[in-house]
Structure 1
Amino acid sequence: MTPRRPPAPWLDAALLAAALLDVWVHVDPGDRIAMACALLGAFALVLRHRLPLLTYLLALPATFVTDSVFATLAALYTLASLSRRRVLLAGCAAVFTVGDTTAWSWPVPEFADPTDAATLITITYSLATATAPVFLGQLVQARRELGLRLTEITEAREHERRLLAQNVLAKERAQLAREMHDVVSHQVSLIAVRAGALQVGNRDPEAKEAAADIRRLAVQTLDELRHMVGVLRAAGSRPTELTPQPLLADLPQLVDGSGIEAELRAELPQELPPAVQRAVYRTVQEALTNIRKHAPGSRAAIRIGQQDGTVHVVVVNSAPQRPALPLPGSHHGLVGLRQRAELLGGSVSAGPTVDGGYELRLEFPAQDAS
């Protein structure tokens, strides 16, 4: 786990406190010039982030007249962590070394014999003291830049991953569009053609009416399939208008075209939110589909109303009059209705009735969806 860094204001306050402590320990209060230079260098640290070079220059005089060098070293570290000019940093370290080795003889510097071992040790110590914050600042700068580069690489890889996923999704949609166009549309077209031939060649009125319904539904399905194919093919290239969503005004057409003897009684205001109207429509649509598949020949009663801010949808069918045909299904219809109702803050209940029929009931708030 990476340790958390202290907040910048607290770190600045700690550096200032350490610099003032260094002044209190190493500077004689009676030496006004030395005290002024040391305090100037300490309080200059508040500028180190915005003006690092000026901060170093303000802290540097204390190095020549006192042993208080903490502020100068802190300013040198900040300059090294923010600057890329290595010649400047080397010059600043060299100036610090000169000031630190001549502080005892200021204002008239006296340079000792450079061949003397003690002098060499002092110069080496001062140079190492100046070099350490420079190297540390450069290391922090490199670490910060490396973090930025890693962030950029991570973002680039994430962007590449999203593009790859979109490309795969586009290919899958294109393949699905081809399958729908080549297989499903072809088969539905054959259904429409055969239903048309049956309508023309059959003399039984009920059979002709049933064939006409089959042909009409097949043509409608073909139109929806063509639009879905267009949507799938255009996915990822440009926005595509989707099929208009059904509303309450479309319920009579849905019931009339269901092929079921059904009675619709709807007493709902037309200004209900679109999501509520879609939920009502899909509930009735799913109920009629299930009746047609599982209860052929039965009659249905559809009651839709609103009471105390709650929408009630009840679809009840009588017992089937003939055996149901084994038609394929996904068995997801009621699950989808329950999920839609839960999103709207309502509930769905379904079950058999005492006379052998089936009842589907949906309840949800009238204004909780938009």
Structure 2
Amino acid sequence: MSTGRALWRRLPPWAVDTGLVALAALDAWINLLGEGTPVMWACAAAGSASLLLRRRFPLAVFLLTLPMALFMDVALAPIAALYTLAASTRDRPLLAGCALLNATAATLLWPLSDAFDGDRTWTLVQFVYTLATAFAPVLFGQLVQARHDVARQLVEVEEAREHERALYTQTVLARERAQLAREMHDVVSHQVSLIAVQAGALQVAAKDPDAREAARTIRTLSANTLDELRHMVTLLRASGGKATELTPQPTLADLQQLIANSGIETTLTGQLPADISTTAQRTIYRTVQEALTNVRKHAPGARADVRLWHDAHHFGVTVTNTAPTRPTVALPSARHGLIGLKERAELLDGTLTAEPTPEGGYRIGLRAPAQPD
């Protein structure tokens, strides 16, 4: 079965569509043989040939196959068109209406005056049976669409996990490098400094020229080693990633670059006082950064609005995003990002709010008191 499925997937779309057209035409020819009128043959030709365009215009192709179901006892062309429509749209009422149309067209007889002359109970039974048959391709098309959504979401989840693993690895390396830098600075550098000091004292106190020269050499080597150690400490601290002790902390001037690099359609409005403290600027920046990260993870395809504001007594920022335009998967989260933002807000004697919006989006707001002059 897996071999057949792989072979089916390797077929180009035009080959599949051409095969469907041929089968639909054969189905219509068998039903019209010996009793078809020119109108019936024209409807059969139009409905069968339209399957070539079913991927681009699924609704129009389905409507073109309805006369075939009305004039003759065919099943392939309407079912193929209905399946394609179900696999390409999420409009459930539209799909239900199309299934009803297909069942009605397949149940009625042409001319319509003869449709109600027979046993109406049998006509009703036939309609229910045909309706169930019409819903089968609809359900299968929706199932295929859901499978594609799940596959895409699994890819997004795997990419998110890879990104988180990379971030965790960087964090661990940064922590180890920072610890090593502290050890080198606090222990090794201190010991080398003592050696240099003792060598300098020996150079001054020694009376033997050879001893003085040896002490001078030791002092020089110790000073050079101390410079090398300080340089190594600087490199270790700077190579721990973006968030290191030596990296300049972000300010409000970096907001535009943050938004530009976020990959989200974002608008920035408003402004904050020019004399806002550096701590407050970092808090505003981290709030916007965390909010845009959450939008990228949990609301794919959404737009965001960043609004800076202030009045006589307070200042803050509000980040609001629209509802996602693509399906999302509920990912496990410990909400450490929001907890960290709340702690930053409390350091400013402010508050942080995070809540969904009535339109299906999300809003994060920071409000802090202005510092007295």
TM class by smaller structure? 0.5 to 0.7
Q: List, as ranges, runs of 4+ consecutive aligned residues in structure 1 with deviation greater than 6 Å.
A: 238-241
- Correspondence 1:131-170 to 2 at 5 A: 131-170=135-174
Shift of 1:79: 0.6
Q: Does 1:12 align with 2:17?
A: yes
**Letter in structure 1 aligned against 2:241:** G
- Correspondence 1:28-107 to 2 at 5 A: 28=33, 31-102=37-108, 104-106=109-111
**Letter in structure 1 aligned against 2:199:** A
Aligned residues: 239
CA distance in 2, matches of 1:64, 1:173: 76
**Letter in structure 1 aligned against 2:63:** L
**Letter in structure 2 aligned against 1:34:** M
Change (3 A) 1:110 1:190: same
Shift of 1:181: 0.6
Shift of 1:109: 5.1
Q: Does 1:187 align with 2:191?
A: yes
CA distance in 1, matches of 2:120, 2:37: 33
Change (3 A) 1:195 1:101: same
**Letter in structure 2 aligned against 1:86:** R
Supply the RMSD in Å over aligned alpha carbons.
Answer: 2.6
How many percent of aligned residue pairs carry the same amino acid? 52
From 202, 209, 213, give the equivalent of 1:205: 209
Shift of 1:202: 2.5
Name the SS of the counterpart of 2:86 in structure 1.
helix
CA distance in 2, matches of 1:87, 1:230: 65
From 116, 130, 135, give the equivalent of 1:111: 116
Match of 1:303 in 2: none
Shift of 1:21: 2.7
- Correspondence 1:1-370 to 2 at 5 A: 3-4=5-6, 5-9=9-13, 10-28=15-33, 31-102=37-108, 104-106=109-111, 108=113, 110-112=115-117, 115-116=120-121, 118-234=122-238, 235-237=240-242
Change (3 A) 1:38 1:206: farther
Name the SS of the counterpart of 1:84 in structure 2.
coil
**What TM-score do the two structures reach when normalised by structure 2?**
0.58
Contact 1:100 1:126 in 2 (8 A): yes
CA distance in 1, matches of 2:85, 2:69: 17
Contact 1:38 1:68 in 2 (8 A): no
Q: Structure 2: which 5+ runs fail to align?
A: 248-373
Q: Structure 1: which 5+ runs fail to align?
A: 242-370
**Letter in structure 2 aligned against 1:220:** N
Change (3 A) 1:112 1:147: farther
Shift of 1:198: 2.5
**What TM-score do the two structures reach when normalised by structure 1?**
0.59
Once the two structures are superposed, residues 134-187 of structure 1 have per-residue CA deviations (whole angstroms, 9 ceiling, x without a partner) of 111111111111222222222222222222222222111111111111111111
Change (3 A) 1:144 1:191: same
